[in-house]
Structure 1
Amino acid sequence: MVNCCGLLNAKKEPVPLKSVEVELEVRDHVATVVSTLNYENKEDKPIEAVFVFPLPGDAAVCHFSATIGQKQIVAEVKEKQEAREEYDDALSSGQQAFLLEESEESPDIFSLSVGSLPPGESASIRLEYITELAVQADDGLRFCLPAVLNPRYQPQGSEGAGVQVTSVPASQVPYGLSFSARVSSPRPVSKVESKCSLDPLQYLNTEQTQATVKLAAGHKFDRDVELLIYYKDAHQPTAVVEAGQASAEPGSLMGDPVVMLSLYPEFPEAVMSSVSSHGEFVLLLDRSGSMDSPINNSKSHPTRIGSARDTLLLLLKSLPMGCYFNIFSFGSSYEHIFPKSVEYSQKTMEEALKKVEQMGANLGGTEILKPLKHIYSQPCIPSQPRQLFVFTDGEVGNTKEVINVVKKNSGSHRCFSFGIGEGASTALVNGLAKEGGGHAQFITGADRMQPKVMQSLRFALQPAVEDISVTWDLPKGVSATVLSPPITALFHGQRSLVYAQLTGQSSEAAEGCVTVKYSLAGHASESELHFSLKPAEDTGLTVHRLASRTLIRSLEMEMRERTGQHVDRVKKKAVELSVQSGVSSAFTAFIAVNKGDGEAIQGPLVRRNVPIPIIQLRGHPRLRCSMPVNCNLAMNISPQMHPPPVMACKKGKAGPKMKFKAQLMKSQERQMQPPQSLSGAMMSPAYSDYRGVVDMCLPEQTLRDPLLQLVSLQKASGCWVLDPALAAALGKTSEEVENTKPASVNHEVWATILALIWLHGFKRDAQEEWELLAMKAVSWLRAQNAACMTECVEAGNAVLGCSEQKDALGL
């Protein structure tokens, strides 16, 4: 019988992971994260602890070590199969071993195996990774420490076997987390925000360029740890030159200097204020069962699908006349509103909104690949550039396959992606936008989806930047080899990173120059960045490792696009680069073996899966609707309805030699399948908190949110109609709005001016959400050439109790 002492999982089995300590250091826009995982075996037999956990999808894992007593064992990077065999051989010989490997299907999932931990023994695992911080549309830098790893849906017939995930409800995670961060920048740190409770920000100097912050005590594993970091006068173009590693061979990536460029293009105000009237807008909405969960695991907040429906309403109202659009939704199957994209009009908009009202999280799994392929199979409409908006909670097992399809079609569209809720795959959401030349956003905690999506719509409505080129002007004898993929998209104020290897000798006083040229709205533009070639001090090898990670990801993508012998050559190159730089890849793993002189560990080796938190579904506290075939969940249903999972064990003196892949296959054969008899009931959507959104609203059908109530009444052309529904949305009676209309003005002009005044007067704090549809309303008013506009605004202010000026309304 197992000695059940210490922390227990949902099956009353001991959990050897006792605590996780995370130290974050942010330098400008680069983050270094050191995680320490403390293990202890309180059982009476040796164990193997297996922990499958998330990391940021673009992280470069660069250090892995284990400390047992006073002895530290630093892991090496080796080819993955070689590392697995060395790990198995060590366990078979009774030695302690540690294996860290990246999922071959999704770079944001890692598996850590702590092998042969004797009874009463403790081990401390140190894991270090670096990553660039993503720029948000509000100019903040986003760092996210993923705590939640939702099971990834593995589509039928997809490539790869998937990853085994052991999950428990977030409230039952049996280990603690401590988190601290240090932020430094050449510019002052203005603020640090988080959805999690933080201790007050502490500045370390009078210039406020250095600060520390800690996670408040009592953090629950029901959310990722997200920090939003804001600098004063941030996002200035910069260049960092880092010296090569002294022990590395000259001419190699690690031996030569590497430069990291951060480019922030600034577009003319005339371009930024203009909105295109062209485009094909394809909206792709996740309707898998998990979309019925609240965004932040709070019953007081809307469900993901409910928020998505409200967002689609705003999007449809904000589209310009003359464009084309269509809406797809997907789960285990996919649906579309129109067979092909249609021209935007009052009729097509109304038809789409009626279908959106009926959308629930009732389509089962998360098969995103098939609808993407269908969308790409449809020919593009001439002079209507395609803009794809993808909404998902990002739980798929074939991440790389999905991103590869987007990359193959990147020349014909831009892809804007939105990760909804805790546990959304950063690899999927960021990868879609990066390879699709668009922009990624994450909606977590108390975030409203609408402003973030409307920010991206503004990007999509701006003219696409074309003919992008990067040229280098370096001293004689110095050359640059660009390591990053070519820049395919530029957005106003958004960062583009370029890594390049510098070859040749130069004086420390020498300077280089990079020129970015592009065409915007038919006009040629360029921007220059001058920088010193003198290496920066105290950077370690951060820039080299980030550059290596970038090149490795490019090679992995190239492999998926090639066949035959070329694949083997590219894989060999990726493995060599990973080993030389000490950076993780899909083809390598970190392996550490304790080759001490002690006796071999005796006794049967018992496997213990360390659980990861899972966000619970409303109404089903331990069951997700979109359950993947590769997920091992703690269930709260009767044994007759679902067989219990079988725990994998190793038997014999020290456990027979068992290959990792064979273990994984056997484990997957035991994984649970969702009960077919429950699928219909579990996937039924709840519509009680959502009311109809149609132009002919009755008073009792009004939306809870007054803003969405008003927005739902706007016509596709941009105007409003003077009727009882509008009066109710404005908080007035029909008589109050009709009897105060200036005699010389028609009803629609009056209604539209009233709506604009109400938006500016009462919803200015939500301007990002309604700005585009207000611009459409102003354009419609200008086209009417209505007289007495000043009189109308004054009368509207009197009715609504506002004091808005005509100029402020855009009139």
Structure 2
Amino acid sequence: MTSSIRRPPIAGAIVPTVLAARLERFARHAMAALLALFGCLLILGHARAGDGRGEAVTPGAMQSGGLLVRNADGPGFTEAVRLGTDVYLSVSGPTVRGRITQVFRNTSDRWVEAVYVFPLPDDGAVDYLKMVVGNRIIIGEIKPRAEARAVYEAARAEGRRAGLVEQQRPNLFTNSVANIGPGETVLVQIEYQAQVRQSAGVSSVRVPLVMGPRYNPRPGADGADPVSNRAAMAAPVLDPRRYDKTNPVSIRVQLRPGFQLGEVKSAYHAVVDRPEGAGRFIMLTDGEVPADRDFELTWTAAPSAAPQARLFRERIGGEDYLMAFVTPPSAATAAEAPREIVFVIDNSGSMSGLSMRQAKASLLYALSRLKPGDRFNVVRFDDTLTKLFPDTVPADAGHLDTARQFVSGLEARGGTEMVPALRAALEDPRPEDAARVRQVVFLTDGAIGNDQQLIDTIARERGRSRLFMVGIGSAPNTFLMTRGAEMGRGTYTHIGSVAEVETRMRELFGKLERPVVTDLAARIEGTSADMTPAAMPDLYAGEPVVVAIKVAALTGTLRIEGRIAGETWRAELPVAAAIEGRGLSKLWARRKIADVEAERSLRRITGDVADARIRDLALAHGLVSSQTSLVAVDHTPVRPVGTPLTRQDLPLNLPAGWDFQALFGQVAQTRGVGSTSPAVGEGDEGRAVTLPRTGTDAGLRLAAGTGCLLLSLAALALTRRRRGMVA
């Protein structure tokens, strides 16, 4: 049974019909006026959001989402300089010439200095800087690092336009541009020379497009800082939950490999290519993409065109240079020695998300490839570490099952204390055991600032172990991975997506399970030569011997030999048969610098001697290095005397697949953007977590809320009048 209750009329509530109609018309007109006012507020809000004036503001005063940078010389914030990047690669045989063009636009009404941290290939020889402002073109010069910095700072203080490119790591650079005027656009172009990488018949070039936040350990008890250039390593990182991705990048590749091409592909970006002469022209399908993952292009030779040995030559400045690529034959039928393998997996905060999934899948696959005669152990680390077993154990069903459960339960969190984990893996209780091959497989994104400390540890403590670095994620630290593998006499493998895990790990185990080419040596007969690398590395299946040489004359024969499964292998290349190459002198100098760094790590030379040799090599060949920089200065002052200059650190995208919340935690909630792991080891007051903070459309939302409230009140009044009439 249902019932209804009719309220008794309230005294004075009965309204004449004519008055009720007038009130209803008034309410309708009021609602229409409020809607019009609300629309005007929206239009005004969007207009203010898009004017791009960039005056000093506070986050609460922003009318739309925006990127703010705290003013260095006063209160408030300024909207950041916009940025775009174009990458052009010209591949010619074994070398690639890269040209990076960056566009800085000052959207504010102030004179600014823009500072941008950007990655480059770890073997890239940076040698050219050009700035274009209006109709002014300014070309950079290589100078000793301190001198270049002094020249730049003097120009900045005097109001002259200036650019400075400094190396913070062999694969990490900073680009500073001073005195960008209000509304002004500055084009900065940087060029470098690099080597085409080859492995298992696949050639590749890689362009790092984003630098992941680095974990920077505290200085030691002795006060020594393990992180060189600590301040320069910090760069703001956008929270993708609050900001759109920035720094759009276009990429074009002119590919002339010197042989008939087979398959050409890009694993992480959609590309289109068209035939062009004897090569191809490749570009991004979408024209441009956000810089949130590294770009990699690979190609193979047609089945009948794969060369086994090539020798290139270049004459420049009255001097001759050679570069040789020789691929030894495989020895797949040789007997395999039993192995002792230690797997190290990084489960720190930077590995959150897809990186952790890739690392766990990779390690689980590796465990499945162990054989009954092998021994193994697993070490996991963040800012703590765990050794699964006290020592390596037989690869039997019980131990493997325990290891699989351990790996499956890992979660990413904490800081990245990599050195203690490395030492635990390299610790060898049986250094004289010649019956087993000892191997360490290290899975990480390499997101640390103390790269050199880790490389020095490998050089001093590797013993008989061979270190195989596995780079995980969309933007691994390739300098650390490549140099660590070289010092550890192993190889570097990159896994950029879950789909690649099985393929890349199968390739790695193909190398682990096959004998290496050992006792490698190279010499030239018939002329004197300065050869690099100074110490020839061991090679694994499918890897070529790569030798760069400065020669007195283009005569004689290059001889390379080594041992494969106990048998002698030799290759001979007549120097007179070398074909023309480009950029070989730059690559020779860059590799000689790497030799000097290796000598430093092995403590065969002092730091002062190493610095002097690097400076001399870099100045002679016009390269940016740890001891030299590129500086460009316009001699005409443009910033009026007394006008302040604001520094703006341009932000980076978070690498694709990284978990911002897991990486920055509570800091992310309060600051909106970060540059290092929360467990950076410096205390909250020392964290390099940088603004901009959130810029919201608070004013617009307040107006919208007020409009909605008034509309609701009008609607409520109209409803009550109608109810009163019904009653």
Partner of residue 213, structure 1: 282
The 2-side partners of 1:586 and 1:129 are apart by 15
Q: Which residue of 1 is the match for residue 400 of structure 2?
A: 349
Q: Is the alpha carbon distance of 1:670 and 1:567 closer, same or farther for their aligned partners in structure 2, counting shifts above 3 Å?
A: closer
Q: 2:661 aligns with which of 614, 617, 623?
A: 623
Kindly provide the CA deviation profile for residues 349-378 of structure 1, in whole angstroms up to 9, marking residues without a partner as x: 23323322322224x111111111223232
Distance in 1 (CA, whole Å) between partners of 2:447 and 2:500 is 21
2:567 to 523, 526, 533: 523
CA distance in 2, matches of 1:502, 1:567: 28
Aligned residue identity for 1:587: Q
RMSD between aligned residues: 3.0
- Cα distance between partner residues in 1 of 2:639 and 2:400: 74
SS for the counterpart of 2:398 is: helix
Per-residue deviation, residues 585-604 of structure 1 (Å, max 9, x unmatched): 11221111111266755411
Query: 1:226 matched to which residue of 2?
Result: 296
Matching of residue 359 in structure 1 with residue 410 in structure 2: yes
**TM-score, structure 2 as length reference:** 0.77
- CA contact 1:256–1:502 (8 Å) conserved in 2: yes
What residue is the counterpart of 2:703 in the other structure? none
1:604 is aligned to 2:644:
yes
Cα gap change, 1:382/1:128 in structure 2, threshold over 3 Å: closer, same or farther?
same
Q: Which letter does structure 2 place at the counterpart of 1:230?
A: T
Cα distance in structure 2, aligned partners of 1:420 and 1:366: 14
**CA offset at residue 445 of structure 1?**
4.0
For residue 101 of structure 2, the aligned residue among 33, 36, 53 is 36
Matched, 1:160 2:225: no
Deviation at 1:490, TM superposition (A): 1.6
In the alignment, is the contact (CA less than 8 A) between 2:473 and 2:657 conserved in 1? Answer: no
Distance (Å, rounded) in 2 between the aligned partners of 1:2 and 1:276: 68
DSSP-derived class of the 1:42 partner: coil
- The one-character-per-residue Cα deviations of 1:131-190 (angstroms, maximum 9, x if unpaired) are 1122244x3222222222110111233343521111114662333222111100221122
Aligned to 1:654: none
Matched, 1:387 2:455: no
1:46 aligns with 2:114: no
Matched, 1:532 2:576: yes
1:125 to 188, 194, 215: 188
Query: Could you tell me which residue of structure 1 aligns to residue 484 of structure 2?
Result: 432
State the percentage of identical aligned residues.
23
Cα drift, residue 273 of structure 1: 3.5
Radius of gyration: which is bigger? 2
Equivalent position to 1:466, from 471, 494, 518: 518
In 2, Cα distance between the equivalents of 1:644 and 1:257? Answer: 48
Deviation at 1:546, TM superposition (A): 0.6
| Secondary structure in 2 matching 1:174 | coil
Q: Which whole-Å CA distance do the structure 2 matches of 1:136 and 1:5 have between them?
A: 53
Separation in 1 of the partners of 2:65 and 2:587? 37
Provide closer, same or farther for how the CA distance between residues 448 and 407 of structure 1 changes in structure 2, counting only shifts above 3 A: same
Please tell me whether the aligned partners of residues 358 and 497 of structure 2 are also in contact (alpha carbons under 8 angstroms).
Answer: no
Q: Tell me which of 537, 540, 548 is aligned to 1:491.
A: 540
Evaluate the alpha carbon distance shift between residue 593 and residue 624 of structure 1 in structure 2; reply closer, same or farther with a 3 A threshold: farther
Q: Relative to structure 1, is the Cα distance of residues 307 and 36 closer, same or farther in structure 2, using a 3 angstrom cutoff?
A: closer
Give the Cα separation in 1 of the matches to 2:674 and 2:504.
42
Deviation, 1:387, is 0.9
What is the letter of the counterpart of residue 315 of structure 2? A
Match of 2:362 in 1: 311
Query: Given the superposition, is the C-alpha separation of residues 322 and 226 from structure 1 closer, same or farther in structure 2, using an over 3 Å criterion?
Result: same
Contact 2:426 2:465 in 1 (8 A): no
What's the secondary structure of 2:535's corresponding residue? Answer: coil
* Distance of 2:177 and 2:639 partners within structure 1: 18
Q: Distance in 2 between matches of 1:610 and 1:116?
A: 15
Is the Cα contact below 8 Å between 1:394 and 1:428 reproduced in 2? yes
Aligned to 2:178: 115
1:181-330 aligned within 5 A: 181-205=253-277, 209-217=278-286, 218-232=288-302, 233-245=305-317, 255-267=318-330, 271-274=331-334, 276-294=336-354, 304-330=355-381
Which structure exhibits the higher relative contact order, with contacts defined as CA atoms closer than 8 Å and separated by 6 or more residues? 2
**Which residue identity lines up with residue 135 of structure 2 in the other structure?**
Q
**Structure 1 gap ranges (5+):** 246-254, 295-303, 628-632, 646-664, 675-811
1:194–1:226 CA contact under 8 A, matched in 2: yes
Matched, 1:57 2:122: yes
User: Are the counterparts in 2 of residues 10 and 172 from structure 1 also a CA contact under 8 Å?
Assistant: no
1:15 is matched with which residue? 80
User: Distance in 1 between the 2:119 and 2:673 partners?
Assistant: 27
Residue by residue, what CA displacement relative to the aligned partner does 1:481-530 show, whole Å, maximum 9, x if unpaired? 213232121223212211111014x6xxx5x3222222222222222223
Contact residue 520 and residue 560 of structure 2 kept, 8 A: yes
With normalisation by structure 1, the TM-score equals 0.70
Seen in structure 2, the aligned counterparts of structure 1 residues 273 and 172 have a Cα distance that, compared at 3 Å, is farther
Whether the aligned pair in 1 keeps the contact of 2:365 and 2:505 (CA below 8 Å) is no
Q: Give the 3-state SS of the residue equivalent to 1:528 in structure 2.
A: strand
1:172 is matched with which residue? 244
Q: Deviations over 1:563-616 (max 9, x none)?
A: 88x432331121111112111111221111111266755411111111111137
Structure 2 counterpart SS, 1:596 = strand
Would the alpha carbon gap of residues 8 and 126 (structure 1) be closer, same or farther in structure 2, given more than 3 Å must change? farther
Q: In the alignment, which of 548, 551, 570 is matched to residue 589 of structure 2?
A: 548
Gaps of 5+ in 2: 1-54, 70-76, 220-225, 676-681, 692-727
Question: 1:316: how far off?
Answer: 2.0
8 Å Cα contact 2:236/2:689 also seen in 1: no
1:637 and 2:669 aligned? yes
Are the counterparts in 1 of residues 425 and 440 from structure 2 also a CA contact under 8 Å? no
Q: How many Å separate the matches in 2 of 1:204 and 1:84?
A: 43
